Homo-oligomer: A and B are copies of this chain.
Amino acid sequence: MTPEPQALPGLLTPEASLHRLADDLAARFTGVFARETVDRYVFESYTALARTARVGAHLPVLTARFATERLTALAQTEGAIASDVCEVLFVCVHNAGRSQMAAGLLQHHGGSRVHVRSAGSQPAATVEDPVVAAMAEIGIDLTAEFPKPLTDDVVRAADVVVTMGCGDACPVYPGKRYLDWQVRDPAGLTVGEVRAIREDLDRRVRSLLAELHTAGSPA
């Protein structure tokens, strides 16, 4: 990409890579979404992550994942992609601690029986290091995860929404189950303190999974 003469050095020049991503996703979602929708998802997903992410170099990769996950969620909601497992969304404030841990635990214990997403009302720049460390101790790898703002599409795709500390930041739609968990925020805590939160979340997640299993997956 040729740098714009008027562009400031610290700013980002994403256009060419985002158009390539939009081409790829438009092909993948042919017959599901209008090209206009795919374009908007790609560019808005980029701008949403750029607002809070600190490492600009990773943005194109994270944008590709975020836009793909959002379009997939929307396609599920509209019935264009089948989902035969329970879809669970965890929401906290920064998507850097509690919601990432809960998502990792549920995916770990639930395996192919669940599909898990997470988001934050005010996403942080990165997942907290002690959180990544505490989860690594039990064999759950969060190194590739990143904080994402809560979006409408992932709420719509969810069967169960679990909020933790984010107030009423999450829209309520009919036909979903909403739970609010009172869990300590790991922000700024040591790995030792985060372990206790991990154990608290582990009990809650196992209990939720047992309930979902008893209730049966949505077909």
Contacts and interface: CB of A to CB of B under 8 A. Distances in A.
Contacts of A21: none
A46 B178 contact: no
Contacts of A150: 47, 51
Contacts of A50: 168-171
Chain A interface residue count: which class?
Answer: 35 or more
Interface string A156-196: 10000001000111111111111010000000000000000
B44 A152 contact: yes
A17 to B, nearest CB: 11
A143 interface: no
Given A122-B51, A149-B51, A168 B37 contact: no
B174 A15 contact: yes
A11 B178 contact: yes
B6 A171 contact: no
Contacts of A122: 51-52, 122
B52 A172 contact: no
Contacts of A163: 8, 11
A48 interface: yes
A168 to B, nearest CB: 4
Contact of A172 (B13, B121, B169): B13
Interface of A: 4, 6-8, 10-15, 33-34, 36-37, 40-41, 43-44, 46-48, 50-52, 56, 74, 121-122, 149-153, 155-156, 163, 167-178, 180
